[in-house]
Amino acid sequence: MIPLLETTGLTAFYGDFQALFGIDLAVRPGEVIGLIGANGAGKTTFLRTVTGLLPAAPDAIKFNGQPIGGARAEALVKRGIAMVPEGRKLFPSLSVEENLSLGATVKRDGPWNLQKIFQLFPILEERRKSPATKLSGGQQQMVAIGRALMSNPALLLCDEISLGLAPIVIADVYRALPAIRAAGAAMIVVEQDIAQVMRVADRLYCLREGRVVLEGAAAAMNRHDIAAAYFGAVA
Amino acid sequence: MISWLDIIVQGILVGGFYALFATGLSLIFGVMRLVNLAHGDFIILAAFAALAIVQFTGIHPLLCLAAIIPLMAAFGYILQRGVLNRTLGKNILPPLLVTFGLSIVIQNALLLEFSADSQKLPMGNLTVASVQLLPGLNVGLYPLGVLITAAAVIGALQIFLYKTPLGAALRATSDDSTTIRLMGIDNRHIFGLATALSFAVAGLAGVLIGGYTNFSPASGPSNLLFGFEAIIIGGLGNLWGTLIGGMILGVAQAIGAEINPGYQVLAGHIAFLAILLAAPRGLFPRMA
């Protein structure tokens, strides 16, 4: 089976600074990948490269078998890659509904529309006319996820959707993931909260200093392996 | 008594011109934080383009708008995609330098083609017609029409920006021109559209001011300055505030001119500085 997304020897740079040193990663259709690692390990850089916000060599990233490295971000959204960016990045001048509708600009066919998003997160229907940044942190995260889903992505990239949220709110946000997965999207979930990501991911990749230092089925991993990979220390 | 009322009303009417100058500037700045130092010169360029059409075809200057507005919009889009988009980035200096350079190029190109003579678009009887608002208070039909036009332009832009999907995309691009790309929207295209809109308004402003006062190739920078002042007085990011800012500037200039004709422009600048001192973010700020 052709992987939905496959990166081969993916490198990324910020000017002279190299942030990724040859990442090999694959996502199969419908699969949920957990991507973990300390701050600065390259998780966000990896997502920004896959979405086209950072340049990459054409063959380093394949989507449905086609080389897409270095394609423009807006073209990749049309092909089915959507991202929930770190820090949510909602548009403060726009209402909740306008933020969500903007996500549907590319008009891809699929299960998600405004009604379905409101079923997934009923609170957003109540707050649909509010300015997006007047909502609580958890509700804003729901808008960010909904906005990405509105493009009906084949691959949804979630960058630290628990960041800055209270544990009870994180549980609320994560409760939506099974429904998103059931609707057919594959996911890469970047997360600091390892226990959380192990519950939702099929497979885990751990990055350290721009390299993959651990990969495997989430169920087969133990905390000791992860801690060793995460910190690079021999415990 | 009636003479002071008259002065204030005339000043308010002139505010319509300043609001039109400012609206185009405000659109570009709002969407991409680009200060177009050549904006006043593009307004004058539109006035000269209208003059050339009038001289060549003999049609009424207002009929030229049907050609000038789309031409300026197309020119704006091409200029943005071809030149100005390349100057945008973290550093704010390149767009300032490039638009400053454009300003010099336009002024000198106009000088070469039309000489330094003062020109005026022949509006015919339109500019001498007046309407009576109160007994003893007559206002010019032409500036009244310009003020109404400015209000209509701002009203239409408000509806466009706040009620249409494309308007939402422009506001979103103004908020965050990187994240907009994750929505599948090409920020370069949105920047082009913002400049096209700005230039369409500049084209309108150029023809209207060209029929009201004399203009020469060097007239651009003062239009730019009045536009800036109207924006700052009204508060950044608020188009209705810009209209009121233009009126305040117009009234201050009219009062100054009444005291001494030499004080006209100075009085406007003083009012601008006084408001800046009292309310550094303008009277009706919207943008953080």
User: Contacts of residue B187 in chain A, CB cutoff 8 Å?
Assistant: 74
Note the pLDDT of residue B1: 62
B210 touches B50 (CB < 8 A):
yes
Q: How would residue B134 be classed by pLDDT, with cut points 50, 70 and 90?
A: confident
Q: How many A×B Cβ pairs under 8 Å?
A: 66
Backbone angles phi, psi at A190, to 5 degrees: -90, 130
User: Contacts of residue B171 in chain A, CB cutoff 8 Å?
Assistant: 91, 93-94
- Average pLDDT value for residue range B40-68: 97
Write out the two tokens for B245.
Answer: 């800012």
SS3 A16: coil
A73 interfacial to chain B (CB closer than 8 Å)? yes
Q: Which of A84, A89, A93, A140 to substitute to test the interface with B, most B CBs within 10 Å? A: A93
Q: DSSP states of A159-194 as a string? A: E-TTTT--HHHHHHHHTTHHHHHHTT-EEEEE-S-H
- Rounded distance between C-alpha atoms, residue A147 and residue A141, angstroms: 10
Note the pLDDT of residue B288: 44
DSSP letter at B174 equals H
Buried b (16+ CB within 10 A) or exposed e, A87-124: ebbbbbbbbbbbbbbbbbbbebebebebeebbebbebb
Question: B201 vs chain A: nearest CA distance in angstroms?
Answer: 23
- Average pLDDT value for residue range B44-62: 96
Residue of B nearest to A101 (CA): B165
Q: How would residue B92 be classed by pLDDT, with cut points 50, 70 and 90?
A: confident
Q: Is the pLDDT of residue A235 over 60?
A: no
Q: Mean pLDDT score of chain B, rounded to an integer?
A: 94
Question: CATH fold of B2-278, please?
Answer: ABC transporter involved in vitamin B12 uptake, BtuC (1.10.3470)
- pLDDT tens digits, A153-193: 999 999 999 988 999 999 989 999 999 999 999 999 999 88
C-beta atoms of A77 and B169 within 8 A: no
A228 interfacial to chain B (CB closer than 8 Å)? no
CA distances from A136 to A92, A130, B19 (A): 13, 11, 38
Give the residue carrying structure tokens 């009126």. B247
- Rounded distance between C-alpha atoms, residue B84 and residue A117, angstroms: 38
% of chain A surpassing 90 pLDDT: 84
Q: Is the pLDDT of residue B130 over 50?
A: yes
- Average pLDDT value for residue range B159-186: 95
Q: Is the pLDDT of residue B255 over 60?
A: yes
What are chain A's domains?
5-83+154-231 (3.40.50.300)
- Rounded distance between C-alpha atoms, residue B120 and residue B213, angstroms: 7
Q: Is the pLDDT of residue B259 over 50?
A: yes
C-beta atoms of B182 and A83 within 8 A: yes
B64 touches B203 (CB < 8 A):
no
User: Contacts of residue A74 in chain B, CB cutoff 8 Å?
Assistant: 181, 183-187
- pLDDT tens digits, A63-110: 999 999 999 999 999 999 999 999 999 999 999 999 999 999 998 999
A85 interfacial to chain B (CB closer than 8 Å)? yes
- Average pLDDT value for residue range A50-59: 95
User: How is chain B split into domains, by residue range?
Assistant: 2-278
Q: Which of A91, A143, A157 to substitute to test the interface with B, most B CBs within 10 Å? A: A91
Q: Is the pLDDT of residue A40 over 80?
A: yes
Backbone angles phi, psi at A106, to 5 degrees: -80, -15
| pTM higher than the cut 0.90 | yes
B34 touches B201 (CB < 8 A):
no
- Rounded distance between C-alpha atoms, residue A88 and residue A143, angstroms: 8
Range of lowest pLDDT (A111-125, B134-148, B185-199): B134-148
CA B216 from chain centre, in angstroms, equals 17
% of chain B surpassing 90 pLDDT: 86
A202 interfacial to chain B (CB closer than 8 Å)? no
- pLDDT tens digits, B241-253: 999 999 999 999 9
Buried b (16+ CB within 10 A) or exposed e, B62-79: bebbeebbebbbebbbeb
Backbone angles phi, psi at B267, to 5 degrees: -60, -35
